[in-house]
């Protein structure tokens, strides 16, 4: 729970709510309707929880228009058009208050003399910044972040502990990179040694370009390109433990859920949604606005705007039809046996 204190009036302004009841109740944080204590605000999002407001100890409730809520003495009801958005706005306000790092470079950080760190950036304990790299204003490297040589990090980005950026990586502005993510490691490419024994590594001398407002989850790995760049478009959000291979081109505002693995040279358009644990082999193309369901394994390109699912992935209607029969396979098999037998009996 955040230590932030806001009055009901301030919250009403933050979330653009119609306020019923006092505007000067001090709210110490959000809580569930049944767990809330005095001074907390709860969220009531469907009719079946309206009754709980009566017995709740919460001092305020944020509700969507249309729910029939009583206003009790000394308690406030805040009515909004879009309860989901209002919750996000309030959480965002509280969360922003949470962290405050004064600009500066910690004494234990190791910054190469040729690197340029904005005086308005924060470089925490045990961070390492290589030759020729730049860190723009408002950006925070929390602790133990390793930045290679010739790396560019834009403004107001946050890199959590243990993030590793290899040489020649570019990170945009207002990015959020979670703990132990690794960006710019070698692509995975080998070819048989002409001598017949062993494998020769294909060197990867390309770059990794991360756009603005990109979020990269904890432990996620994005490899650099072989010659050209691996590119992640503005506003794309990537969950934890995702692997993105060399030379991928990921569009803007895509959502890529946890444990998804994307091979080399894969292309995603804009606004693509990829569920968790999806596999995309090398060279696949996914059109803008397409959705690929969790656990799918794509064998083919997916056209823009379509929703596919399954192993191998198919348009969702086809996949569901196949799976419905799959679950009845034992019956189907028995039916076929019965038919075979009855035909044999006839002849």
Asked about 93 being catalytic, the answer comes back as no
The count of other CB atoms within 10 Å of the CB of residue 178 is 20
Determine, following the binding rule CB under 8 A, whether residue 327 of this chain makes contact with a copy of itself.
yes
Size of the site for a copy of itself (CB under 8 A): 110
- Residue 330 near a copy of itself by CB under 8 A: yes
Interaction of residue 37 with a copy of itself, rule CB under 8 A: no
Tokens of 115: 């690197």
Q: From CA 141, how far away is CA 139, in angstroms rounded?
A: 7
129-188 binders of a copy of itself (CB under 8 A): 142-144, 146, 160-162, 164, 166-167, 176, 178-180, 182, 185-186, 188
Quickly count: other Cβ atoms within 10 Å of residue 327's Cβ. 8
Kindly identify the residues of this chain, within the stretch 276-305, that bind a copy of itself according to CB under 8 A: 276-277, 279, 281, 294-295, 297
- Residue 333 is a binding residue for a copy of itself (CB under 8 A): yes
Spatial strand order in the sheet of 314-315: 104-105, 122-123, 140-141, 158-159, 176-177, 215-216, 237-238, 255-256, 273-274, 291-292, 307-309, 314-315
Closest distance to a copy of itself from the beta carbon of 72 (Å): 23
Residue 26 is a binding residue for a copy of itself (CB under 8 A)? no
173 within 8 A of 164, measured Cβ to Cβ? no
If the CB atoms of residues 55 and 107 are measured against a copy of itself, the closer one turns out to be 107
Question: For residue 190, what is the DSSP state?
Answer: E
Find the Cα–Cα–Cα–Cα dihedral 109, 115, 118, 122, rounded to 10°.
-20
Q: Which of residues 69-98 bind a copy of itself (CB under 8 A)?
A: 82, 84-85, 87-88, 91-92, 94-95, 98
Among 46, 114, 339, 341, binds a copy of itself (CB under 8 A): 339
Q: Which residues from 187-206 bind a copy of itself, rule CB under 8 A?
A: 188, 190-191, 194, 197-205
Q: Which of 62, 76, 257, 284 is the binder for a copy of itself (CB under 8 A)? A: 257
| Binding flag, residue 336, a copy of itself (CB under 8 A) | yes
Residue 269 interacting with a copy of itself (CB under 8 A): no
What's the rounded Cα separation, in Å, for the pair 218 and 241? 6
Least distance (Å) between residue 73 CB and a copy of itself: 26
- Interface with a copy of itself, residue 261, by CB under 8 A: yes
Options 11, 25, 27, 31; binder of a copy of itself; rule CB under 8 A: 31
CB 226 within 8 A of CB 208: no
Dump the DSSP string for 156-188: T-EE-TT-EE-TTEEE-SS-EE-TT-EEEEPP-
246 belongs to the binding site for a copy of itself (CB under 8 A)? no
CB atoms within 10 A of CB 56: 22
Q: How far is the CB of 69 from a copy of itself (least distance, A)?
A: 20
In degrees to the nearest 10, what's the CA dihedral of 229, 202, 296, 242? -60
Dihedral sign (CA 61, 64, 67, 71):
positive
Residue 14 interacts with a copy of itself (CB under 8 A): yes or no: no
Candidates 6-14, 65-73, 252-260, 283-291; binding stretch for a copy of itself (CB under 8 A): 252-260
Please name the residues in contact with 136: beta carbons below 8 A apart, sequence gap of 6 or more: 118, 121, 153, 154, 155, 156, 157, 173
Least distance (Å) between residue 54 CB and a copy of itself: 21
Q: With both helix axes pointing from N to C terminus, report the angle between 8-15 and 83-98 in degrees, rounded to the nearest 10.
A: 120
Structure-token pair, residue 182:
């690794």
By beta-carbon proximity to a copy of itself, the closer residue of 51 and 322 is 322
Closest CB to a copy of itself among residues 116, 126:
126
Q: Which among 226, 308, 315 is positioned nearest to 264, based on CA atoms?
A: 226
Q: What's the CA gap between 308 and 46, in Å, rounded?
A: 31
* 245 is an interface residue for a copy of itself by CB under 8 A: yes
Catalytic site residue from 178, 204, 246, 259: 246
Q: How far is the CB of 93 from a copy of itself (least distance, A)?
A: 9
* Residue 200 Cβ vs a copy of itself, minimum distance, rounded to whole Å: 6
Q: Contact at 8 Å (CB) between 25 and 11?
A: no
Q: Which positions are catalytic?
A: 246
């Amino acid at each position: 729970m955040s230590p932030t204190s806001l009055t009901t009036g301030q919250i009403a302004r933050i979330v653009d709510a119609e306020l019923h009841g006092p505007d000067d109740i001090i709210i110490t944080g959000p809580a569930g309707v049944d767990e809330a204590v005095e001074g907390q605000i709860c969220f009531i999002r469907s009719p079946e929880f309206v009754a709980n407001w009566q017995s709740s100890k919460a001092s305020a409730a944020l509700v969507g228009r249309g729910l029939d809520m009583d206003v009790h003495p000394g308690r406030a009801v805040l009515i909004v058009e879009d309860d989901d958005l209002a919750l996000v706005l309030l959480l965002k306000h509280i969360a922003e208050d949470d962290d405050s790092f004064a600009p500066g470079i910690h004494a234990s950080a190791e910054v190469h003399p040729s690197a340029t760190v904005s005086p308005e950036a924060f470089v925490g304990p045990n961070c390492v910044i290589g030759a020729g790299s730049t860190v723009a204003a408002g950006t925070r490297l929390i602790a133990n972040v390793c930045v290679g040589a010739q790396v560019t990090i834009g403004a107001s980005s946050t890199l959590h502990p243990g993030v590793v950026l290899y040489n020649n990586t570019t990170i945009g502005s207002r990015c959020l990179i979670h703990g132990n993510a690794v960006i710019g490691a070698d692509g995975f490419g080998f070819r048989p040694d002409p001598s017949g024994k062993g494998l020769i590594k294909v060197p990867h001398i390309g770059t990794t370009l991360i756009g603005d407002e990109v979020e990269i989850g904890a432990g996620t790995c994005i490899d650099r390109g072989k010659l050209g760049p691996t590119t992640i478009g503005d506003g794309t959000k990537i969950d934890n433990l995702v692997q993105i291979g060399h030379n991928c081109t990921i569009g803007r505002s895509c959502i890529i859920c946890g444990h998804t693995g994307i091979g080399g040279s894969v292309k995603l358009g804009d606004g693509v949604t990829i569920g968790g644990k999806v596999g995309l082999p090398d060279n696949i193309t996914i059109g803008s606005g397409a959705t690929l369901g969790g656990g799918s394994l794509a064998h083919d390109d997916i056209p823009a705007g379509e929703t596919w699912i399954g192993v191998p992935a198919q348009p969702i209607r086809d996949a569901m039809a196949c799976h419905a029969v799959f679950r009845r396979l034992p019956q189907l098999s028995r039916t076929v046996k019965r038919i075979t037998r009855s035909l044999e009996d006839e002849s």
